[in-house]
Chain A
Amino acid sequence: MEFLASEQIAVIDLASGEVTEEEFTDELCQEKIGGAGVNLALYKQYEAEEPVVLGAGLFTGTMVPGSSLGLMTAKSPLTGTVVHTPLTQYAGMELKYSGFDYIVIKGTAAAPSYLWIHDGIADIEDASGLWGLDVWAACDKVRADMGDELIQVLGAGPAAEKGSDLACVMLNYWHGGDRFGLGKALAAKNLKLIAIRGLGLLEIAEDEEFVEQCVELIGQVKSGAWAGKKGLGDLGAAVGENGLADWLAPVLHRSRSDFNTPFAANSFLFLEGDPAELAEPANPEPGVLLAGLDGALGLMKLGLTVAEAGDVALACAKAGLDVSGVASVCAAGGTTEAGAIIAALEDISGPVEGLAGPFSPWTPKQSVFADFGSGDEWWTRRQAVAHIFGLDPLFVLMCPELTEEKLLELASLGTELEFSAEGLEAVIAEVAG
């Protein structure tokens, strides 16, 4: 697979310590397109060895608007089913340029380990110096050891090491879209984290036309209904949660977007001092990033102030716990005071109600800002498309311009392969379960 790909699949056996490489072929791309389609095929191929499969979508890291998504496919400790957890922010892009299109992690390491994925090399490293560290400390240490602050870290925190069902895959210091407890799945393999960095390049088959069409598409997308909106406050308002923006306001510092995703969905809460203060704070990270509407709403509905919610989210981030799951469990158990919630994080676990299907419910289950679809079936199909092509699962709910027809056209331009609506239909049906 010469275009939009690195042509390599890594198969990492943690039990034996062996890493083998397979070719990512035109045939596999033609049949499964990319992202969740290929991830699921590889999961099934190695199913007996309880794999965790990492992959990027066909367009991840390209100029296609919203092209931020990587994904992790594995059996969820919470649902017992195979799920696709979104790897947002900058993790998906880095994975795409890592020199591997897909990474199969199978078996269990004999001792705490971590993976160092870089420029087409997959190294299994000793994690004895990382095991037991909180998410932030582990991220800092691996970046310092490997000598680069831009390394993207998919991490399992102390909660995962203790076997909590709410232990999610963390993206560097922050939460992403994992609601399925895949941090626990990593820790069960004795895997503390996966560090990724790549300085690779992607070739595009019909490069000029691909770029021209992307530029045209960006122009169309930019004038969409989402234009001028940002952050979790506006996102909440779009789905009827009008109080969220006012609740966030006292500590809201900035909104941050994911790679090449025009809508800045993530809200950074400034927990030390005045968020309007322009001076550089002494503490390099004086707050926490809220990266999911469900988590923010869950904490708000517990009756916490936003500052208290920030403290809870920060403690969850360091422990590697899903904020949304924590809010859900605390609500069910009647724990609604911030100090008590933080104290309970030490041994909190599931179950979490309402998880179903292969895609994370971290996005609203409807179109957002623009009205172009609703209902479970529509949402599931839209998520499947995002997870196949590597597009931000939230942004695709805002952009009717990102049609399946346009994505298929770009796929053919980018790869020189022929993709059909029927082929896409089959992959959607497969990944949507």
Chain B
Amino acid sequence: MDALAAYSAFNRELARGVSTAPPAELVGLTRGESLRYPRLGIYTGGGSSHSWLWLAEVFERLGFYDLKFLDAAQVGAGGLAGLDVLVLSGGDTFAMARALGPGGAEAIRDFVEGGGLYLGACAGAYLVMRSSKEPLNQFNLVPATISNLSKILPRALTLPEKYTNAYGCDYVFHPVREAMLLQGQGGPMGQDEFQAPLYGGPAMLPADEVVEVLASYQDFTPGTRFLAPPDLAAETLLGKAAVLRGRLGEGTLYLFGPHFEHPGFAGANRRLARAIYQDMPGGRAKAAPEKADQLAGAGAKALIKAIKRQVSNSRITAVSLEDHPARWLIGDKVYEPAKLRVFLEAIWSRLRPLERASGLAQVPGAEELPDLLAGVTTGIRALKRELAAEDDTTARAAKLFQDLNRAAALFLRMYFASARLGHLDPPAARRLH
């Protein structure tokens, strides 16, 4: 059994009830409390990129099936109630802040102050750091700043579209991408070295002693890709904080520069799990499970087949576009055609277990999925024709990514709800291990 499978097994135990003797090698608890199965919210709304799909993937591998997928409106409208953990991953920080708005900012603050655990990676980390810029100044939850900020934009060696974002009169720049070597400095991160990938995330500087540095950027790896000259990259990153932990009211915030949820980095994934166990709210009554009606028999099979039909149609065209040189600037992020398939694969790879499932959880909105995905098929085919005609496809692409994001969130909601009902065994069926 590999390490993630061990977490999955432990979480199955937790799902059946409270564990009073959590295995230290998995959870590393020092607080001496019993554990219960957490409910996690994943932000999928405006400004988020595809990286929230990594969260779904890794939480599935780790056995955290009690997942809720939230858009910006849901965050601001009481959607955080009953959650133990809220996770915001990568994307366009400003777009995220605009989408969430003052209501979302207040809801997140209330959630943490009330004892919730906030995990922010990349854009999700930038979002809650100290800032005077509108609209980020609504989210000042952790007293920390960044070192990858410059008034003069340093020269880019490659990938200029991934290199920088404007921040007022300054530039946030991203000196490297891909795997970095990190040094754990305590708590759930341990004291040893491990790797995690950086895709535009911050190098952080705590601005208050109440903020703990749990891991720092130790070195580059053979897999590190330099976008800035190596000496500047070293000066900007090495020794700076890669993971911070802050406290607010009863709650805790983790800020991750690298993507600890990337499915290719098991060591980082394990530390993410330990952070959840370590700092999820304790002592509260377990939130009542979300109720879901069940759909079985011909109705369930017809729904899955209709979804499969459209995902297959979209996927076939998306694959044919993967080598196309098109790039779209959507908000502050650059998207390429290969990203289309990332959303589709998140659905496709989970269809087989659902085809074999004894039933489905009937979650609100799931019945819209076939039509929503049929629209995606139409959109991807039109996109291909328009690219061939050398038309401007930015608006088309933006709408497609929005629809794909919504479809993936809706589908995963149904998938994990079905898993919680015991209708499928995702790790076994998907051969995740």
- Point out residues on A near B: beta carbons under 8 Å: 118-121, 123, 144-151, 197, 199
Asked if B315 and A147 sit within 8 Å, CB to CB, the answer is no
CA distance A118 to B309 in the complex (A): 8
- Jot down 26 A-B pairs with beta carbons below 8 A, ordered by A: A118-B312, A119-B308, A119-B316, A120-B308, A120-B312, A121-B305, A121-B308, A121-B309, A121-B312, A144-B385, A145-B381, A146-B313, A146-B381, A147-B317, A147-B320, A147-B380, A147-B384, A148-B317, A148-B319, A148-B320, A149-B320, A197-B316, A199-B312, A199-B315, A199-B316, A199-B319
Asked if B313 and A118 sit within 8 Å, CB to CB, the answer is yes
- Point out residues on B near A: beta carbons under 8 Å: 305, 308-309, 312-313, 315-317, 319-320, 380-381, 384-385
Query: With contacts A145-B381, A147-B313 known, what are 12 further pairs, Cβ within 8 A?
Result: A118-B313, A118-B316, A121-B305, A121-B309, A121-B312, A146-B381, A147-B317, A147-B381, A148-B316, A148-B320, A197-B316, A199-B315
B313, B315, B380, B384, most chain A CB atoms within 10 A: B313
CA distance A121 to B320 in the complex (A): 19
B305, B312, B384, most chain A CB atoms within 10 A: B312
Q: Using CB atoms, name the residue of chain A closest to B319.
A: A199
- Shortest CB-to-CB span from A49 to chain B, Å, is 24
From B309, B316, B320, contact of A123 by CB (8 A): B309
- Shortest CB-to-CB span from B240 to chain A, Å, is 42
CA distance A149 to B324 in the complex (A): 14
CA distance A120 to B311 in the complex (A): 12
Task: List the B side residues contacting A145 at CB < 8 Å.
Answer: 381
CA distance A118 to B315 in the complex (A): 10
CA distance A123 to B316 in the complex (A): 15
From B315, B320, B381, contact of A150 by CB (8 A): B320
The 9 closest A-B pairs by CB, nearest first: A147-B317, A119-B312, A147-B381, A148-B320, A121-B309, A118-B312, A148-B316, A147-B384, A197-B316
Task: List the B side residues contacting A148 at CB < 8 Å.
Answer: 316-317, 319-320
Q: Using CB atoms, name the residue of chain A closest to B385.
A: A144
- Shortest CB-to-CB span from A22 to chain B, Å, is 15
CA distance A279 to B308 in the complex (A): 43
- Shortest CB-to-CB span from A2 to chain B, Å, is 12
- Shortest CB-to-CB span from B388 to chain A, Å, is 9
Task: List the A side residues contacting B309 at CB < 8 Å.
Answer: 121, 123
- Shortest CB-to-CB span from A43 to chain B, Å, is 26
CA distance A151 to B384 in the complex (A): 15
Task: List the B side residues contacting A150 at CB < 8 Å.
Answer: 320
A144, A147, A150, A151, most chain B CB atoms within 10 A: A147
Q: Using CB atoms, name the residue of chain B closest to A143.
A: B320
Q: Using CB atoms, name the residue of chain B closest to A121.
A: B309
Q: Using CB atoms, name the residue of chain A closest to B384.
A: A147
CA distance A197 to B319 in the complex (A): 12
- Shortest CB-to-CB span from A153 to chain B, Å, is 14
Task: List the B side residues contacting A118 at CB < 8 Å.
Answer: 312-313, 316
- Shortest CB-to-CB span from B323 to chain A, Å, is 12
Task: List the B side residues contacting A121 at CB < 8 Å.
Answer: 305, 308-309, 312
